[in-house]
Amino acid sequence: MKELLKIRDLTKGYTDRSILEKLDLTVYENEFICILGPSGCGKSTLLRCIAGFEDYTGSILCNGKPVTAPAPQRMMVFQDYNQLFPWKTVEQNIQYPLKVNGLRDKEKLRQISDEYVHKVGLDGYQRYYPHELSGGMKQRVAIAKALAFKPELILMDEPFAALDAITRNSLQQELADISANENVTVIFITHNIQEALTLGTRVLLMNKQGKIVIDEENTIPKPVKPSSPGYGAMWDRFSRGLAQESN
Amino acid sequence: MKKHTPLLAQLLFVVLCVVFWQWYANTRGIMGFPPLDQIFQKLLDCFTNPQRQILLYLGNSLLSVLKGLSIGALLALLLSAICAVSRVFSAVYTLVVSVFDLLPGVALLPILMITVGANDTAILILVIHSVVWPMSRSIMDGFKATPAIYVESGKNMGLGVAGLIFGVYVPATFASILSGIKVGWARAWRGLISAEMIFGAAQSAGIGVFINNARTVWIDYPSVYAAIVLIILVGVAVEYGVFQVIERHTVRKWGMIR
Ligand SMILES: Nc1ncnc2c1ncn2[C@@H]1O[C@H](COP(=O)(O)OP(=O)(O)OP(=O)(O)O)[C@@H](O)[C@H]1O
Ligand SMILES: [Mg+2]
């Protein structure tokens, strides 16, 4: 397995206190990493450092190159529904990063956006504007946009957190299917153990001090269901870990 | 029936005004108060009388406004864009805007007349002055209110400074920009007509000059009223024919205003 992201001694704090301290993490190509952790432990901070939105001390190398600024090769999917540009249609939103980075061929762009619109189950909505979509549909578009660019790494910060349980479940299933069939590497942050076990090929738990305390390969066979062998035991370990870290 | 009450009230009001006007004008026969049929006749005449083609005057005015409006809008966009990049420039420019925004353009006329002369350039400067400050203000406010997530999303895609300004800030701010243009247009249009009436004869005579001539040279009050009616019609056409159409095809379509 090829190393994609290598974080060493990552330390990050805001004026008064430190959030992440000497964090090490190595991500390999085609991994789907889920990070769990109590609220406020620094998960978003970690992701924003990797994305290049924050300055930090220590080193973050993506494909051997130090991360100093945001770049499309590390594509972010935010929790906020309103991350799409409201002045662009669904297909224009999906095509825009490709266009910005030099793909001009209209035919090709159309073909790519159609393909990913289809993958996230939004056929027929290409010409809709974001305000005409539901929250779940907007998140689907944001995911399609990230996938269509084929970045080295996709960073997702609780993209499903604000959705209702049913929509959330179906989006999890879709994302699990898509990621199994595409060459993508994902770091996915969530509060939800079930979500982490469903999606992740590797699941991490961060503690209040911003350290990674559990780092486990997810060996539960896909598609993951609560009845899958090993699910209960793994769920218990993370649940206990979270409870310990939360008090 | 209830739904139509306001409309009926408005209609009734207009009919009453017309009847009163007509009655007053016919019984008193004051020069500055001609009957409506004469005004209407003039409105038609003015289009056909080759010496006083009111549309030509109106066209000149509209052209001046359009020229000033586009230059002013571009200038405002450019200066606000520089503000987004440079803190020092932003500090200075904010001060300049807040000072000049308070100054009615017509008040500048005496100075313009001795510095650049009573010509089209003075008028152009006046129109630009009316547009550039309110527009700069709306654009800068809009830029500041642009949601951070659009900016981060844009940076993430690899947009540079120019890309961020024209690909994110401008569309995100479009509602603000439009309202800035509206304010600019209203001020420029009023300012222009005042200036034309004060100048008397500019190189390309506008509708203000027409009104002045009708009053002093032709002594023709129905024409004065015809021009007033036209000025109102232009206002209506710009609001409904231009601004609302642009709104419908942009910010309203994007769901960025209700
Ligand atoms: N811009 C900032 N300035 C100062 N402190 C900040 C800033 N952003 C985050 N923090 C602090 O850093 C800590 C970690 O925040 P972060 O958003 O990374 O947590 P999180 O693990 O993502 O939490 P959640 O699960 O609730 O999203 C929090 O205590 C927060 O108060
Ligand atoms: Mg967070």
Q: Report d(CA A166, CA A178) in Å as an integer.
A: 19
A28 touches chain B (CB under 8 A): no
Over residues B19-41, the mean pLDDT reads: 81
CA angle B55, B61, B67 (to 5 degrees): 130
Whether A247 is in the pocket of ligand 1, judged by its Cβ within 6 Å, is no
Nearest Cα residue in chain B from A71: B156
| 3-class secondary structure per residue, chain A | CCEEEEEEEEEEEECCEEEEEEEEEEEECCCEEEEECCCCCCHHHHHHHHHCCCCCEEEEEECCEECCCCCCCEEEECCCHHHCCCCCCHHHHHHHHHHHCCCCCHHHHHHHHHHHHHHCCCCCCCCCCHHHCCHHHHHHHHHHHHHHHCCCEEEEECCCCCCCHHHHHHHHHHHHHHHHHCCCCEEEECCCHHHHHHHCCEEEEECCCCCEEEEEECCCCCCCCCCCCCHHHHHHHHHHHHHHHHC
Q: What percent of chain B has pLDDT over 70?
A: 97
Contacts of B156 in chain A (CB under 8 A): 51, 70-72, 74-76
For testing contact with chain B, the best of A87, A137, A149 (most B CBs within 10 A): A87
Other CB atoms within 10 Å distance of the CB of residue A192: 16
Please give the structure tokens belonging to residue B131.
């547009």
- Tokens 């009001």 correspond to B13
Contacts of B169 in chain A (CB under 8 A): none
Q: Where are the alpha helices (DSSP H) in B101-206?
A: 109-115, 120-145, 148-157, 161-164, 170-172, 174-199
Per-residue pLDDT 10s for chain A (247 aa) are 789 999 999 999 888 788 898 899 999 999 999 999 998 889 999 999 999 999 999 999 999 999 999 999 999 999 998 999 999 999 999 999 999 999 999 999 999 999 999 988 899 999 999 999 998 899 999 999 999 999 999 999 999 888 888 888 888 988 888 888 888 999 999 999 999 999 999 999 998 888 899 999 998 988 888 899 999 999 999 999 888 876 6
Nearest Cα residue in chain A from B169: A85
Q: Report d(CA B202, CA B209) in Å as an integer.
A: 8
Output B108-116 pairs: Cβ under 8 A, ≥24 positions apart. Answer: B109/B195, B109/B198, B113/B199
Please give the structure tokens belonging to residue A230.
């090993």
- Between positions 181 and 200 of A, the ones with CB within 8 A of B are none
Q: Report d(CA B104, CA B244) in Å as an integer.
A: 26
Q: Do B254 and A96 touch (CB under 8 A)?
A: no
CA torsion sign for B154, B157, B158, B159 is negative
Backbone φ, ψ for residue A77 (5° rounding): -115, 120
Mutate to test the pocket of ligand 1, among A10, A12, A19, A211 (most ligand atoms within 8 A of CB): A19
Q: Do B171 and A85 touch (CB under 8 A)?
A: yes
Q: Whose CA is nearest to atom 6 of ligand 1?
A: A14
Task: Tell me how far the alpha carbon of residue A9 lies from the centroid of ligand 1, in angstroms.
Answer: 19
Give all domains of chain B, ordered by start, each with its CATH number: 36-249 (1.10.3720.10)
**What is the pLDDT, as a whole number, of residue B201?**
56
- Strands A32-36 and A202-206, how do they pair? parallel
Q: Report d(CA A129, CA A131) in Å as an integer.
A: 6
A233 touches chain B (CB under 8 A): no
Ligand 1 atom closest to A158 (CA)? 27
Whether the predicted pLDDT of B29 surpasses 80: no
Domain ranges of chain A: 3-73+153-246, 82-150
Please give the structure tokens belonging to residue A143.
């995911």
Q: What is the pTM of this model?
A: 0.86
Whether the predicted pLDDT of B2 surpasses 80: no
pLDDT band at B41 (very low <50, low <70, confident <90, very high): confident
The most confident of the ranges A123-137, B78-92, B103-117 is: A123-137
**What is the pLDDT, as a whole number, of residue A181?**
86
User: pLDDT of B194-235, one tens digit each?
Assistant: 888 887 655 678 888 888 887 888 877 888 888 888 899 899
CATH for A3-73+153-246, options being 3.40.50.720, 2.40.50.140, 3.40.50.12160, 3.40.50.300: 3.40.50.300
pLDDT band at B5 (very low <50, low <70, confident <90, very high): confident
Please give the structure tokens belonging to residue B114.
């001795």
User: pLDDT of B119-173, one tens digit each?
Assistant: 888 888 988 999 999 999 999 998 889 999 999 999 999 999 889 989 999 999 9
**What is the pLDDT, as a whole number, of residue B3?**
77
Backbone φ, ψ for residue A205 (5° rounding): -125, 130
Q: Report d(CA A225, CA A203) in Å as an integer.
A: 16
Minimum-distance CB partner of A72 among B156, B172, B174 = B156
Residue A92 is which amino acid?
A: Q
Backbone φ, ψ for residue A203 (5° rounding): -125, 130
CA-closest candidate to residue A208, choices A16, A47, A38, A43: A38
A102 touches chain B (CB under 8 A): no
Nearest Cα residue in chain A from B154: A97
Output B233-237 pairs: Cβ under 8 A, ≥24 positions apart. Answer: B234/B58, B234/B62, B234/B189, B235/B189
Whether the predicted pLDDT of B1 surpasses 60: no
